[in-house]
Amino acid sequence: MEPVGRREFEALVADALDALPPDLTGLMDNVVVLTADRGDPPDLFGLYDGVPLTEREDYGGLALPDRIHVYRLTLCEASANLDELRREVVVTVVHEVAHHFGIDDDTLNDLGWG
């Protein structure tokens, strides 16, 4: 599909975050969600860059926030239409938030979120 604009894509990501259970988002700690056109490698849908909550023994103080990146052009190219893009954005957001909680790719695949 033709790429959606940056603002429309950011709104899709915000909608995906808003759809997460409040009990879950209330546990998210020191993490920011960002959008960009592409990652490295350029076929990534999203990326979690940080220290998962399960590994934060010495984490804290003045630490910069962890980052979840969601990549607009890659997701648009992988989607046939806007409905499919919405679904892919939700899956990507859930996938990267799960990494923030220390859930690895194998477990996500087993749960159907791979």
d(CA 27, CA 6): 28
48-107 per-position pLDDT tens digit? 999 898 888 765 567 789 999 999 999 999 999 999 999 999 999 999 999 999 999 999
d(CA 105, CA 33): 19
- Using 50, 70 and 90 to split pLDDT, how confident is the model at 29? confident
pLDDT of 114 higher than 90: no
pLDDT of 113 higher than 80: no
CA 78 to chain centre: 16
**6-110: CATH number:** 3.30.2010.20
pLDDT of residue 58: 65
**Domain extents in the chain:** 6-110
What single DSSP character describes residue 104? -
Q: What is the pTM of this model?
A: 0.92
